[in-house]
Amino acid sequence: MTKASSPADPGRVLICFDFEAPYGTPYKDEPYDLAKNSSAILDELAKHDARAVFFVVGRMAEDHPHIVRAIADAGHEIGLHGYEHDNLDRYDAEGVQLLGKNLARISSIIEDMSGARPVAFRAPYLLSPNFHKSDIYKVLRDGGFRWVSNREVRYPCELLRPRPGKFPFPYAWRASDGSPRWDGNRFLLTALNARILARDTFYGSSTARLRWLVGKREPFTRDGMTEVPVMAPLDCDLLGLPHHDEDTPKPVLDYSRAVVRAAAAEPGRLTTITFHDWIVSRGNRLVMLSDALTAAREAGSVISTIADNPDWLPAVV
């Protein structure tokens, strides 16, 4: 058996969905078939016998409980993606208090549906621009949440993606096997994430954060929560914000597919690959989910969830 198909230290892949349509899409006036598109995603995961983490907008559990129940019945982990799809960084004390009440109510609804209370949370817009807020994290701790995924990392491949009619400069950025160097070039990676080094607080010093950034970017703890950072480009960072039913131009889609395949096949590390339901399920983009799952399997990586593998995260201290 080859090393590629059975690495000594296999990768661990979290397939994540920001499951937010119709609440989080910028095209709220366009028709969107939530049931059909949800089924397309669940069917693709089932083909690969893969479980994923669905960060669901809280209102969906109230407005479309059959959709959330279908996700749970298929064995996937359900986290929350806020209650409304709005930027929690702007909440005042009253808004934070109301958020806590809404999350507690929705968590009980999901527990009744699935038998498991949500313990994972990703904020809409990732709590930008700071990607962390202590009063929000306290509400999450008090509500029984254990891990979050808000710390954004920007990757050189996002900056260098091809655009129709433009010189395909990104194709000069290749690894020796021809795949995109999505995770390479430490100078660009550092420059794009200078704010993390200068203004964030985890690991206590900018030097320690630099080692983390150019290393494996493993989960870390702060404010009593485990933070699972964005460990690969989001689909929207590669594809932009396509209208629901339009196809993505082939040069952009081909490049994005190659980036996702390369990220999913990383040996010896935990990688989060995130899709938005309204992006990946429509047009010609579902193939990106298939690519991620296929590449992970071919590399011998384990595709699973934190609910099934709590040891993938460090202990909260």
pLDDT, one tens digit per residue, over 231-246 is 999 999 999 999 989 9
pLDDT at residue 316 tops 80:
no
Q: What is the pLDDT of residue 148?
A: 98
State the average pLDDT over residues 142-150. Answer: 97
Q: What is the pTM of this model?
A: 0.93
**pLDDT score, position 1:** 34
83-139 pLDDT per residue, tens: 999 999 999 999 999 999 999 999 999 999 999 999 999 999 999 999 999 999 999
CATH superfamily of 12-312: Glycoside hydrolase/deacetylase (3.20.20.370)
pLDDT at 5 over 60: no
Least confident of 121-125, 178-182, 191-195, 267-271: 178-182
Q: What is the mean pLDDT of residues 185-193?
A: 89
Question: By percentage, how much of the chain surpasses pLDDT 90?
Answer: 82
Domain boundaries, given as residue ranges, for the chain: 12-312
pLDDT at 188 over 70: yes
186 pLDDT band (50/70/90 cuts)? confident
Reported as a single tens digit per residue, the pLDDT across 197-224 is 999 999 999 999 999 999 999 999 999 9
User: How high does pLDDT run on average in the chain?
Assistant: 91
Percent of the chain with pLDDT over 70: 91
Written in H, E and C, the secondary structure of the chain is: CCCCCCCCCCCEEEEEEEECCCCCCCCCCCCCCHHHHHHHHHHHHHHCCCCCEEEECHHHHHHCHHHHHHHHHCCCEEEECCCCCCCHHHCCHHHHHHHHHHHHHHHHHHHHHHCCCCCEECCHHHHCCCCCCHHHHHHHHHCCCCEECCCCCCCHHHHCCCCCCCCCHHHHCECCCCCECCCCCHHHHHHHCHHHHHHCCCCCCHHHHHHHHHCCCCCEEECCEEECCCCCCCHHHHHCCCCCCCCCCHHHHHHHHHHHHHHHCCCCCEEEEEEEHHHHCCCCCHHHHHHHHHHHHHCCCEECCCCCCHHHCCCCC
User: For residue 176, what pLDDT band results from cuts at 50, 70 and 90?
Assistant: low
